[in-house]
Structure 1
Amino acid sequence: MDRRDFIRTGMTLGTCAAVTPSASAAAIVRRPLDMSFPKDFAWGCATAAYQVEGAVNEDGRGATNWDVFSHTSGRVANGDNGDVACDSYHRYPEDIALLKGLGVGAHRMSIAWSRIFPDGRGPINQKGVDYYNRVIDALLAAGIKPYVTLFHWDLPQALPGGWQNRDTAHAFADYAGFMAGKLSDRVHHFITVNELRCFTDLGHQQGIHAPGLKLLPAGVNQVRHHGVLAHGLGAQAVRAHARAGTQVGVADNTSLFVPVIETSEHIAAAKQAVRDDNAMFLTAIMEGRYLDSYLAAAGADAPQARAGDMAAIGTPLDFVALNIYAPTYVKADPSVARGWTPLPHLPQSPRMASPWLYVGPEVAYWGVRAVSELWGPKSLYISENGCSTDDVLDAQGHDDDADRIMYLRNYLGQFRRATAEGYPLHGYFLWSLMDNFEWADGYGKRFGLHYVDFATLKRTPKLSALWYRELIRRNALV
């Protein structure tokens, strides 16, 4: 109602505020909406070795592709590197105390392959094994279950040819089996690899991540094949060496699509888009084959698979973990052969501090739903979800990051919808526990619940940390 409406009805803007509810309105019983999560839902945070550990030259750790990449001029914003990062290698007791203060029951961490096998394979570095034993024991002593990722992009530099070499997939399997044998008495959830699309495409097609290559399509497709093969062989190796009851899965930044309108034709288009657009990654893993449409489109550039490769890639999993950040909207389109068309993000589309991080909370629900309905995984986890904001400390040393709380509240509301509808979502790991080395963005993009002063390495809880603690305490959306 604008001012003219008030004039026509004989009301004034001042008198509007004085209107009192009727007796019938006052008698309405208001029942709060149930926003709780399942009783045994796992709440946690996520970190990755290269992004937080530092200590790159200590205790026998071998060099990685990211050490080389970040020390190459012009590769990382501001010339940043992971040499020190958050110094969690030395400060892990402090970081576990932060986790305990949040009240989490789980923590997703990764192991630096080159701390265990400095050359990627061969002699074992016992100091590296001892370090991760200490970290895991400390987590368990704090009542926090570790979920261990075996490869989060930091590839031992000594492996000949890196991911272009098929033998790297077999080296990974040897390492994965070794770690499962060492840790599965205490670690019951292993994640093989993190975000296939990033360490393959961003590193070998776009050249913006390590090793910084721009291969021709045939080379990119073969790198992708070696990545999913490493996952499959790694999953088999974990099963062969781990104790009974150990679970194994993958963490993937699957391309996820939101139907532009919630109608049957757009919902079907969104689901088909997930299957098509992930043909070389999660679709191959869940179906044990490459889609005919993918192979036909690749033509002579299609990946070369050997006998047994696809069976290994399709090794049945105990869970699938999804890293969910930004949406792609899609509509049904009968005019194209595949039946769907993605919609572009327009300049006015809302986003967080990172240019790629468009805000679309519905992707949380539709991502879980599409993966569930396409492939029927036994269990799903959100292995990463969070956002970058332009964090600053005020004069009192506080960071009131209400924008991060807005993002998290909206996305978690959509995850809650998925659990309420019965999809098998069993846990959530917020990215990230603290600000850290954000790959090609260096230290310029902050995703943490705790502010890190990278000059002093002091950790300070942001307002979002208090919000997340309250959500965990209630096991319900706050």
Structure 2
Amino acid sequence: MAGSNRNGLNRRELGRLAAGAGLAGGALSSGVVRAAGAAGSMTRPFPDKFLWGCATASYQIEGGVHEGGRGPTIWDVFSHTPGKVANGDTGDVACDSYHRYPQDVALLKALGVSSYRMSIAWSRIFPDGRGKPNAAGLDYYKRVIDALHAAGIEPYVTLFHWDLPSRLPGEWQNRDTAYAYADYAGYTARALGDRVRHYMTVNELRCFTDLSHLQGIHAPGLKLGAKAVNQVRHHGVLAHGLGVQALRANAPSGTQVGIADNTVIYVPVMETPEHIAAARAATRAENAMFLTAIMEGRYLDSYLAGAGADAPVVKPGDMAAIGSKLDFLALNVYAPEWARASDNAKGYETIGHLPQSPHMASPWLYVGPEVAYWAVRHASELWHPSTIYISENGSSADDQMINGRVDDVDRVMYLRNYLGQFHRAIDDGFPLKGYFLWSLMDNFEWADGYTKRFGIHYTDFATQQRIPKLSAKWYSEVIRRNALV
């Protein structure tokens, strides 16, 4: 890992300053000049054994919602509620991957990826959320994972990607759901122990808590008060922590456990020591109820004081579970936020998105490639994980099929620029070991239904044909060269 001096600049940045000041003869700056030259060359290689992959989620691709003993989920209920999802779309069929997974494995193999981030639908394993397991659901995932192994692709399994079984009483408002999740995680780890070596407990805490229970735009579509939302947040991080413990207790020795989180990352408005320190402090404080609590095993005093009477109820042992040691940290990185130094009590102030800020097809997906670098650097300098993966990064686009092709140069632009910033993080010595592109193919994009396409393969939802876009060919070339193209 690159070390940082007390002014907040790492060795690479000090070298750049030294070189700019005509100090290229020094040992530090000469090494940095060589590194900068390599990074600026046409090849821009990634490290040997860098992990290249793609990512999907069960409800977004599988379909088959009434097959194989699967129980209902909150997204089944939500998507069938009029007015909740664009065009009344549902995940009933999605990409029909429940039946067509061999085609999807073939797509992965053609790309040349070494890994695939997939999720397991909790309600396929436990249709009621807990109780009697469903053998047919487990067998389905064994077939998928066996097909991946046969193609030389390592599965990275997310155990919860928002499709909560709807029969769980109280859902995430009920503390008992965290324990039900741990039971499910432990059972699945035992059942798939001979097939899966990498687990991510949950996906994007902020989405299945805040978007779902504060803003009401995701399932179950609630708009609760501050105290209830803080308690839901606590149940979410508790589920993660109990899940880590269950995986440790039930998975074979050597199994790697982490989390996939969409941590809000603050980019310094300019790379000076005071603004870098402010952005790092903002990243820690503004994620106090989520990743900061997980990585530090406690809630920040500033968060609890700010919440006051609305702070969550924390029982003995909760924070020890929440802070369970992870083998890796995985980050979903899309859009930036910005921070600058301030004389206020926090030492920073944040800057919101401007109406004219550039974004991709999804209005929320503001373009700011620097967030890729700062996501890895902030996480490294704040919490010192030994391994970081990018569990999601990708772009929506208004893709059009013209003469049998989708020339999504906008997506290629986005991916190239973000990968360049991830490369910078690696070049600076931070422990980024792999990258999962979101997504393998166009799929059900939650409240946006099928109106937003994130795939590098075009999905014709009428025929279920998957067609490689220009971005798929570009990504395949990146993987082939193990270098930025």
Asked if these proteins are the same fold (TM beyond 0.5), I'd say yes
CA displacement at 1:304 relative to structure 2:
0.3
AA matched with 1:466: K
AA matched with 1:168: T
Is the counterpart of residue 401 in structure 1 residue 401 in structure 2? Answer: no
Find 1:362's aligned residue among 360, 370, 387. 370
**Partner in structure 2 of residue 471 of structure 1:** 478
Distance in 2 separating the partners of 1:345 and 1:88 = 36
CA displacement at 1:268 relative to structure 2:
0.2
**Partner in structure 2 of residue 260 of structure 1:** 269
- How many residues in Structure 1 have an aligned counterpart in Structure 2? 448
Distance in 2 separating the partners of 1:380 and 1:298 = 31
**Partner in structure 2 of residue 57 of structure 1:** 66
AA matched with 1:356: W
**Alignment partner of 2:149: what SS?**
helix
**Partner in structure 1 of residue 461 of structure 2:** 454
Distance in 1 separating the partners of 2:119 and 2:282 = 30
**Partner in structure 1 of residue 345 of structure 2:** 337
| Alignment RMSD (CA, Å) | 1.1
CA displacement at 1:244 relative to structure 2:
0.7
CA displacement at 1:344 relative to structure 2:
2.1
- When normalised by structure 1's length, the TM-score is 0.93
Find 1:321's aligned residue among 311, 330, 339. 330
Distance in 2 separating the partners of 1:288 and 1:97 = 41
**Partner in structure 2 of residue 18 of structure 1:** none
Find 1:43's aligned residue among 52, 58, 63. 52
4+ runs deviating over 4 angstroms: none
AA matched with 1:193: V
Alignment gaps of 5+ in structure 1: 1-28
**Partner in structure 2 of residue 247 of structure 1:** 256
Is the counterpart of residue 439 in structure 1 residue 439 in structure 2? Answer: no
**Partner in structure 2 of residue 417 of structure 1:** 424
AA matched with 1:134: R
**Partner in structure 2 of residue 429 of structure 1:** 436
Distance in 2 separating the partners of 1:85 and 1:346 = 34
**Alignment partner of 2:106: what SS?**
helix
Deviations 1:87-120 (A, max 9, x none): 0000000000000000000000000000000000
- When normalised by structure 2's length, the TM-score is 0.91
CA displacement at 1:330 relative to structure 2:
1.1
Distance in 2 separating the partners of 1:415 and 1:323 = 12
Distance in 2 separating the partners of 1:150 and 1:205 = 23
**Partner in structure 2 of residue 153 of structure 1:** 162
8 A Cα contact 2:185 2:247, kept in partner:
yes
Deviations 1:13-70 (A, max 9, x none): xxxxxxxxxxxxxxxx999345111101100000000000000000110000000000
Distance in 1 separating the partners of 2:341 and 2:478 = 37
**Alignment partner of 1:353: what SS?**
coil
Distance in 2 separating the partners of 1:189 and 1:451 = 28
- Match runs of 1:59-458 below 5 Å: 59-334=68-343, 336-394=344-402, 396-458=403-465
Distance in 2 separating the partners of 1:266 and 1:457 = 48
**Alignment partner of 2:267: what SS?**
strand
Distance in 2 separating the partners of 1:420 and 1:248 = 26
**Alignment partner of 1:35: what SS?**
coil
Distance in 2 separating the partners of 1:172 and 1:454 = 32
AA matched with 2:281: Q
8 A Cα contact 2:43 2:484, kept in partner:
no
Distance in 2 separating the partners of 1:67 and 1:346 = 35
Distance in 2 separating the partners of 1:391 and 1:437 = 15
CA displacement at 1:339 relative to structure 2:
1.1
Distance in 2 separating the partners of 1:175 and 1:186 = 17
Distance in 1 separating the partners of 2:309 and 2:320 = 22
Deviations 1:398-444 (A, max 9, x none): 00000000000000000001111110101000000000000000000
Larger Rg: 1
**Alignment partner of 2:155: what SS?**
strand
**Alignment partner of 2:146: what SS?**
helix
Deviations 1:372-392 (A, max 9, x none): 000001110000000000001
**Alignment partner of 2:156: what SS?**
strand
